[in-house]
Amino acid sequence: MHIRRNVRQSRSRQRVPARTARAGGVLLAAAALLVSACSTGSSTSSASSGAGAALAALPQATPSTLAAYYGQKPGWRSCGVPGFECATIKAPLDYADPSAGDVRLAVARKKATGPGKRLGSLLVNPGGPGGSAIGYLQAYAGIGYPADVRARYDMVAVDPRGVARSEPVECLGGRDMDTYTQTDATPDDAKETTRLVDAYRKFAEGCGADAPKLLRHVSTVETARDMDIVRAALGDPKLNYVGASYGTFLGATYAGLFPGRVGRMVLDGAMDPALPARRLNLDQTAGFETAFQSFAKDCVQQTDCPLGSKGTKPAEVGKHLKAFFEKLDAHPIPTGDADGRKLGEALATTGVIAAMYDEGSWAQLREALTSAMKHNDGAGLLVLSDSYYERDAEGRYTNLMFANAAVNCLDLPAAFSTPHQVRGALPAFEKASPVFGEGLAWASLNCAYWPVRATGEPHRIEAKGAAPIVVVGTTRDPATPYRWAQSLSRQLSSARLLTYEGDGHTAYGRGSTCIDSTINTYLLRGTPPAERKRCS
């Protein structure tokens, strides 16, 4: 399995289609969900303990070396999707040396439809890192956001540097990626450990060979600075923004760098920038366990639950699932896949984790588990896993997992440097999640072999002087635990915490009238929610 951080689902309470983009690329691609790079990092530091210096704001005046970038005017053109326009905007590859070359950023928009006075542009980002903001805009936000919001704002998306249409990082071809996603991420002996390490090395070497220069300049700080260039090119004095999952880290970083340019900002499914990689990974492991407990309680109430029946305790449900994973580790089962892939422990675990992002996928998961456990048919879980990795029926992958690792491995020092360190941490991870802990611990190792040293460190973000920022947390969010939203809201000087008491990853647009009306009021009128407002 491979773990990426988190990506907002581009739909609301629907069955998982042949593609999704969620949290840690589950096990192997661990860089995503987790955060990684090359030192151990404390497992106990947190924002509440005051760990890390605060992100410093940049000078308000635009440096002369960046004047040409800030003076760009987008050349909008049709981009193949009715109602949407596209453009390309340049940003410096290296903000410390703008003469070193450019990065070309893909931008898309859908203009405000009216009626009502236009409120400017509203940038959206679904997370990842590595999720395509343009894909999200065209498939969901630009047509699925509330009509009142789309009437008043130009809906805009920018694929971050290294992602999708913006000079994408590539690491492995489809066949090699298939092998990578099937690598055993719960090694039982030295031979299996070596095989896992080799997989991480091959993945990292592929990324380094593809984009040796760009790989040093795909950090969240650089992407946040790119957003300010885009803001200026759009002609907006302030940035209006809705970011989900990792998109909250990106948005909070923008606020920390440019507090005076923050307009109306919503950070949904918040991350905590003050945590080191190991603590982020451990917290997220516990988050998936919380989500699984909710699934288990619901599953045993259903007539088609293959993991237990009414009266079965969630802990027993977990033991049954863990035993099934161990069985697959020894004896993978057929899937009917045209490329001959079988369902082993790695792909099965990824499939289960994919369904934890949205309780609307629980019925699909029960059906997939029933087919696998009772009929020796792994096709259903393979569909869930493929959707998570964004693999299509022809065996092609988007660059989600590649960009995810590239950003994560640059943003934070790695959770672990050696397999020995992982083994030492296994008890803590397995305590956090008896079902997923072992795999998620090993998934945290991948950035140890990254070809570029991390440039970021854990830090607080205060954004002093920013306009009110709405931070949204879901109490049983698997990928961004609620405590992260609480921590970020304490860090940001102007934050208002909006709580959704429920399941699933993120809250806006997922069925809560209370959440949606509160955020819509803020976006349209600028009125933030009351202090400590809670919705269900």
For the annotated catalytic residues, the residue numbers are: 245, 477, 505
Pairing of strands 153-158, 77-78: unpaired
Contacts by 371-376 with C-beta closer than 8 Å and gap 24+? 372/324, 372/333, 372/343, 372/348, 373/306, 373/324, 374/306, 376/333, 376/334
CA separation, residue 435 to residues 316, 389, 431 (Å): 11, 21, 9
Angle between helices 174-181 and 379-389 in degrees, nearest 10: 120
- Rounded to whole angstroms, the Cα distance separating 507 from 4 reads 20
Maximum separation of any 2 CA atoms in the chain, in Å: 69
**Contact (CB, 8 A) for 404 and 5:** yes
Q: Which residues of 387-426 are buried (b: 16+ CB within 10 A; e: fewer)?
A: bbbbbeeebebbbbbbbbbbbbbbbbbbbbbebebbeebe
- Rounded to whole angstroms, the Cα distance separating 525 from 148 reads 11
Could you tell me the strand order of the sheet in which 533-535 lies? 77-78, 85-92, 102-110, 153-158, 120-125, 239-244, 262-268, 469-476, 495-503, 533-535
CA separation, residue 434 to residues 6, 296, 305, 316, 369 (Å): 21, 13, 20, 11, 18
Pairing of strands 127-128, 6-7: antiparallel
Strand, coil or helix: 260: helix
Q: What is the DSSP string of 379-443?
A: HHHHHHHHHHHTB-TTS-B-SHHHHHHHHHHHHS--S-SSHHHHHHHHHHHHHH-TTTHHHHHHH
**Contact (CB, 8 A) for 111 and 86:** no
Beta strand extents in 50-194 (DSSP E only): 77-78, 85-92, 102-110, 120-125, 127-128, 153-158
- Rounded to whole angstroms, the Cα distance separating 536 from 513 reads 9
CA separation, residue 99 to residues 58, 79, 92, 200 (Å): 20, 30, 8, 34
Contacts of 67 (CB under 8 A, 6+ apart): none
**Contact (CB, 8 A) for 161 and 133:** no
- Rounded to whole angstroms, the Cα distance separating 133 from 150 reads 16
